[in-house]
Each structure stands twice: as structure tokens, then as C-alpha cells.
Amino acid sequence: MIETGIPKLDDFLGGGVPKGKSLVYYIQPGVEGEVFGMQTIFNTLKCKGTGVFIVSSTSPDTTRGQFKEFGWNIDVYNDRLFFVDAYNPLIGAPSKEKYVVLNPDNIENFNKVITDVIKELPPSTIVFGSLSTIMDLCGEKETIEAVRNWNKLAILYDHIIVYNFTAWPYSQETLDLLKKEMFNAVISIGGIAERVLFGQYFGILKSDWAKETKKSMLFRVLRPGGIKLFIPKILVTGPFDAGKSTFVHALSTRAISVDRLGTTIALDHGHVEYKGFSADIFGTPSQERFDPIIKLISGESMGIFLVVDSTNPTDFVRAKQMLEITKSYGLPFVVVANKQDLPGAMTPEEIKVQFNLPSDVPIVPASAKDKKGVFEAFEVLINKITGGI
């Protein structure tokens, strides 16, 4: 198995891509999907493998610069990274690469160079930066026949072949072939727009070696950073003085609170970057007059943290009330048993009894001021959210 390095995708694929297999990133126009191929080959290099990147829509030097924009230093892998230049000859510029397609609009010349690469190099991850550009230059049917040949050779020589393909309005026959027949795995990459939420997603349309899954993941592309799984909105709620603002600040790489006399009078806002995830979190005021705000934000959130003061069971009535407000939207939630460092703190088991919660509801012990338990709670909630996507 060769891991793609895309958060969660390797889990969906059962650990990565086996040698001899082909995979296409099937990208909707307008979505920033080309980075998927780049991140895949960079992860191969990090794992001491050999990578081949076929450039056809930009020059190799421009592509090297794009890697650097994402914070990926490929210079240290020059002995294991090879560029196939199918761009400079197209514009009449000289090329310094070992492998050059002298006539990029001639599929036979293209096929010869790729065949040489497959036969000469050790088992590698071979990434086509833009299969669409090759198709535009060489023709749909001609390119499809060449791809069939490359995929067969990959099996014989233990390579993994990865294609970036942007689904421009080609013939329906071509699109159906690419989505259903040509590759061992098809990863759909698209955009969504629903109410106030706009985002990009990826999901498995097909994989002949992994357990079938219908899960999809939202993502954003960061420079530097590459692909990060994106959770647009997570709500942090709970009674007065439970430690919501402290929790938001402990969890966030950056956070803002609007306070008056030490009490939050507006929303806390924080941003989390953790283990390949990117998430925005919002903390609500605890006063009942703000309950309409909680209802509004809950309806646009993907998960809930209910923060309670483990030393103050008298506030559990209000906490239950706030929980019911958020649960009415059917959202995944985690109870954060805060202030576990203080004397008299109730255990998660005792709190579960007080709340009369089902056994499968997670209660995570935490001390937000010491940043203890906050990331554990984040991981639990993320697992609940992504398990339902």
C-alpha cells in the first residue's frame, strides 16, 4: 500500500493504494482539485518512495513553485522525483528534464515516453497533473486507448498511476468510461452550496480493493498546508461559568472573545488546525435570552460541544436545557466534563447518571485552563461527525 497523504482518504481506501492499481481524481470544473495529485506524490516521496509527475498544463519549474507554495520542499527528493515535461516543447521552450515529450499533441510520442518511464524506473507513484490537457491536445479516443495501455503496464511493473482529470464537457461516452470502467478507483471531487455553507468535498465513487463506502469529506486547500478536512462550524455551549471561552481558546490556534466584566456577551470564535482537520468553532453566551442564537447557530453547525462544570451539579438543569435545544437538530455532540482538576469534581460516569444519558454518549474529562482533554474531546466529536458524512 502507498498512502495518498490525504486526510481520511487513506482510511476510506483501506490504508492507501496497492501497487499495480490506477486511481483518478475526478474533478468538477471550478474546484481546486489538482492539489490532490500533488499531495499524493509528495507523500510518496516523504515515505521514501519514487515519484513521477507528468506536467502538461504548466512548466516543471512552475509546478516546483506550486509545491513550495504548499510548504512542500521537494528539492531534498531530487534523486527520487522525476518530471516528464510535456509543456515546454508545446510552447517552443527548451527543457532540462530527463524525460521530455517532444510532440505533446501526438499521442504516439506521448505514449512512447510514458512507456519508457514505466519500464526504466523502479516501482513508483506516477501522477498525471492534468489528463484533461492531454485529452484536449491528443483527442478523447486516442488518450483513452493510451491510458488503457499505461494502466496495463503499471500492473506489470508494480507502479501506481494517479490521474488528475477535470470533467469538462467531453462526450458522455468518455465521461462514463472514466467514471465507471477505466480505473481501479475513482475519487470524486466537487463543490457544494447549501444555505450559508459553501465548500468542497471528496468521496469515493469506486474502489475495487477497498470496502465500499458512501462517505464524503469536506475539505479546504491551504497555502501552506495542502488539503485539510474542513468542518465549517462547531458549536460550544453550556451553562454560565462552565469554561466555554477557556475551552474555545485552549482548542484554537487563534480565537476571539467579546467579554464584559469577565463574562462573554457575544460569540466566542476560534479556529482549529489539528491532525489534518481545519474547523471553525463558535462559543455561545449562557444566558437564556440568547437561546434563539443557540438555535440559529445549531441549525448551521455540524457538531456540538456541551461544556459543563464538573464541580457544580446545580447547573446541570440549565445544561440539560441547552442540550435539548441543540439535540433537536439531530447533531452529533460530546459532553465536556470541565474543571476535572478541582476538588469535588464529579467523574464522567457520575455526570452521565445525572444527565440520564444513553451509554453511547461520550463524556470527556477535561481541564480547559491546562489544555487537558480538549483535543481528546475534539477527536471524539470529529469521529462522530465524519462517521455520519
Q: What is the 3-state secondary structure (H, E, C) of the chain?
A: CECCCCCCHHHHCCCCECCCCEEEEEECCCCCCCHHHHHHHHHHHHCCCEEEEEECCCCHHHHHHHHHHCCCCCHHHCCCEEEEECCHHHHCCCCCCCEECCCCCCHHHHHHHHHHHHHHCCCEEEEECCHHHHHHHHCHHHHHHHHHHHHHHHHHHCCEEEEEEECCCCCHHHHHHHHHCCCCEEEEEEEEEECCEEEEEEEEEEECCCCCCCCEEEEEEECCCEEEEEEEEEEEECCCCCCHHHHHHHHCCEEECCEECCEECCCEEEEEEECCEEEEEEECCCCHHHHHHHHHHHCCCCEEEEEEECCCHHHHHHHHHHHHHHHCCCCCEEEEEECCCCCCCCCHHHHHHHHCCCCCCCEEECEHHHCECHHHHHHHHHHHHHCCC
Residues 292 and 344 in one domain: yes
Residues 111 and 186 in one domain: yes
78 belongs to a structural domain = yes
pLDDT tens track for 64-80: 999 999 999 999 999 99
2 belongs to a structural domain = no
- Lowest-confidence region among 114-128, 186-200, 202-216: 186-200
- Band of residue 377 on the pLDDT scale cut at 50, 70, 90: very high
pLDDT tens track for 16-40: 999 999 999 999 998 889 999 999 9
Alpha-carbon distance 330 to 326, whole Å?
Answer: 8
Alpha-carbon distance 173 to 336, whole Å?
Answer: 53
- What pTM, to 2 d.p., does this model score? 0.78
Per-residue pLDDT for 115 more than 80? yes
**Cell (9 digits) for 316:** 446541570
Per-residue pLDDT for 298 more than 80? no
Residues 108 and 245 in one domain: no
- Lowest-confidence region among 45-49, 254-258, 266-270, 374-378: 254-258
- Lowest-confidence region among 27-36, 141-150, 188-197: 188-197
What is the count of structural domains for the chain? 2
Residues 342 and 216 in one domain: no
Angle 181-184-186 from CA coordinates, rounded to 5°? 80
4 belongs to a structural domain = no
Residue 189 CB contacts under 8 Å (≥ 6 apart), including other chains: 25, 26, 27, 28, 31, 33, 36, 200, 201, 202
Q: Report CA-CA distances (Å) from 41 to 34, 76, 83, 158, 378.
A: 12, 14, 11, 16, 29
**Cell (9 digits) for 202:** 471528496
**What pLDDT score was predicted for residue 264?**
46
1 belongs to a structural domain = no
- Among 224, 254, 277, the domain boundary falls at 224
pLDDT tens track for 97-113: 999 999 999 999 999 99
**What pLDDT score was predicted for residue 232?**
78
- Band of residue 354 on the pLDDT scale cut at 50, 70, 90: confident
**What are φ and ψ of residue 211, in 5° steps?**
-60, 135
- Band of residue 253 on the pLDDT scale cut at 50, 70, 90: confident
- Band of residue 261 on the pLDDT scale cut at 50, 70, 90: very low
Residues 245 and 266 in one domain: yes
- Lowest-confidence region among 243-252, 308-317, 352-361: 352-361
- Among 224, 244, 266, the domain boundary falls at 224
150 belongs to a structural domain = yes
37 versus 321: which is more confidently predicted? 37
Residues 267 and 126 in one domain: no
- Among 178, 206, 224, the domain boundary falls at 224
Residue 321's domain comprises 231-386
200 versus 164: which is more confidently predicted? 164
Residues 30 and 158 in one domain: yes
Residues 211 and 273 in one domain: no
Residues 205 and 354 in one domain: no
Residues 331 and 191 in one domain: no
* Residue 177: CATH number of its domain: 3.40.50.300
Per-residue pLDDT for 218 more than 50? yes
**What pLDDT score was predicted for residue 293?**
64
